[in-house]
C-alpha cells in the first residue's frame, strides 16, 4: 500500500554547478546530486555561497592531492632524517664543550681529551691571567683569552723610580713651606702686572711738578687750536677804547632804530603815491588825498 505523503524537493542540479547568490534565499538549500561530486549549498549572511560535501568526496579530494610523488617531493623519509641527524652530530663534534675547572695549567688533562673540550684554569700561567679558559685543539691547550699587551703599563722598576722622585719633590715642598712669608696687602700685590710696572717706570722717568697744575690740566688740544687761530688773526684798532664800549644791548637798540626809520620812509613814500604831499617840515600833507573806487 503506497504511502500518501507530501514531498519537499530542494533547488537542485544533476551536474557539477555552483549556484549564484541570487539563486538562493536565506535558509534555502541547493542540492548538487551528480554522482561524481554530490554537494549541498547554502547562502550565508554575507551573500556568500557555502558548500558541504560528504566523507567520500572529502577522501577523494585528499587522495587527489596526497600522492606518493607528492610525499616524496615534500616530506623526508626516515633514511633522510637519519642522514641529516648524523651530519649535524658530526658537525657538533668540534663545538666547545665546557668540562669544568682546574687549579693550574699543569692540571689540564693529558689524555682522552677531545677537540672542543674547554677547561677554566684558576691560576695565572705565564703572562696569561687567572680565570682564563683553555680549549683542546687536537694537539695542545689553546688559550681562549687572547694575549695581553703590557707595553703601555709601568713596570715595577719604573714605579719605584717615580716613588723616589715624589719623595724628593715632597721634601723640597716642605723646605719651601718653612721659608714662606705673608703680606697684609697680598690682594694689592697680586693685582700688579707687567704692564702696570712699565707704566710706572715711564711716569717716574718724566715726573715733574707745577704750582698751577690744575690750570695746566684744563688745557685741551681744542683750546690750543683756538689760541693758535686767534694769534694768527690778531690786529689792532686806533679806536679800540670806543669799540670796547659797544655792547650787545647797544647793537639791539641800533637795529630797532634802523627798523623804525625804514618804516617811516615806507609810509612817506606810500602816502606820496596816494596823492599826499610833503610840507616844509618834511611831513605828509593829505589835504589833496582822494579815494579811487574803480570802474564798473
- Please state, as a whole number, how many other Cβ atoms lie within 10 Å of the Cβ of residue 136: 20
Question: How far is residue 30's CA from residue 47's CA, in Å, rounded to a whole number?
Answer: 14
36-64 pLDDT per residue, tens: 888 999 999 999 999 898 787 777 777 77
Determine the 3-state secondary structure of 243 from DSSP: helix
141-150 pLDDT per residue, tens: 999 876 666 7
Residue 19: band (very low, low, confident or very high) from pLDDT cuts 50, 70, 90: very high
Q: Assess whether pLDDT exceeds 50 at residue 294.
A: no
Q: Is residue 24 within 8 Å of 6, Cβ to Cβ? A: no
When the pLDDT of each residue in the chain is averaged and rounded to a whole number, the result is 80
Residue 24: band (very low, low, confident or very high) from pLDDT cuts 50, 70, 90: very high
More confident residue, 40 or 221: 40
78-134 pLDDT per residue, tens: 888 888 888 777 666 667 889 999 999 999 999 999 888 999 999 999 888 999 999
Give the start-to-end residue ranges of the domains of the chain.
11-65, 93-143, 248-285
pLDDT > 70 in the chain, percent: 81
CA 273, 276, 280, 283 torsion-angle sign:
negative
More confident residue, 242 or 294: 242
More confident residue, 296 or 201: 201
Give me the mean pLDDT over the 155-183 stretch: 80
Strand 277-278, strand 132-136: pairing: unpaired
Report pTM. 0.26
- Please state, as a whole number, how many other Cβ atoms lie within 10 Å of the Cβ of residue 228: 10
pLDDT, position 30? 93
Amino acid at each position: 500500500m503506497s504511502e500518501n505523503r507530501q514531498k519537499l524537493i530542494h533547488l537542485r542540479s544533476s551536474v557539477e554547478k555552483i549556484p549564484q547568490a541570487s539563486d538562493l534565499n536565506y535558509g534555502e538549500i541547493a542540492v548538487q546530486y551528480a554522482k561524481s561530486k554530490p554537494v549541498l549549498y547554502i547562502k550565508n549572511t554575507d551573500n556568500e555561497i557555502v558548500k558541504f560535501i560528504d566523507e567520500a568526496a572529502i577522501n577523494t579530494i585528499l587522495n587527489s592531492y596526497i600522492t606518493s610523488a607528492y610525499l616524496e617531493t615534500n616530506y623526508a623519509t626516515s633514511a633522510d632524517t637519519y642522514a641529516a641527524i648524523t651530519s649535524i652530530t658530526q658537525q657538533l663534534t668540534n663545538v666547545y664543550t665546557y668540562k669544568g675547572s682546574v687549579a693550574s695549567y699543569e692540571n689540564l688533562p693529558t689524555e682522552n681529551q677531545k677537540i672542543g673540550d674547554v677547561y677554566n684554569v684558576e691560576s695565572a700561567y705565564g703572562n696569561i691571567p687567572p680565570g682564563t679558559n683553555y680549549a683542546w685543539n687536537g694537539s695542545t691547550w689553546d688559550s681562549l683569552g687572547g694575549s695581553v699587551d703590557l707595553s703601555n703599563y709601568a713596570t715595577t722598576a719604573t714605579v719605584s723610580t717615580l716613588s723616589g722622585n715624589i719623595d724628593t719633590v715632597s721634601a723640597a715642598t716642605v723646605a719651601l713651606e718653612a721659608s714662606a712669608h705673608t703680606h697684609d696687602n697680598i690682594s694689592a700685590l697680586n693685582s700688579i702686572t707687567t704692564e702696570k710696572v712699565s707704566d710706572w717706570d715711564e711716569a717716574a722717568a718724566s715726573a715733574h711738578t707745577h704750582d698751577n697744575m690744575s690750570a695746566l690740566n684744563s688745557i685741551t688740544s681744542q683750546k690750543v687750536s683756538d689760541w693758535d687761530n686767534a694769534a694768527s688773526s690778531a690786529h689792532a684798532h686806533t679806536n679800540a677804547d670806543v669799540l670796547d664800549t659797544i655792547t650787545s644791548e647797544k647793537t639791539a637798540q641800533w637795529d630797532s632804530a634802523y627798523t623804525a626809520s625804514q618804516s617811516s620812509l615806507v609810509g612817506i613814500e606810500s602816502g606820496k603815491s596816494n596823492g599826499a604831499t610833503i610840507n616844509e617840515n618834511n611831513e605828509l600833507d593829505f589835504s589833496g588825498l582822494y579815494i579811487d573806487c574803480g570802474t564798473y
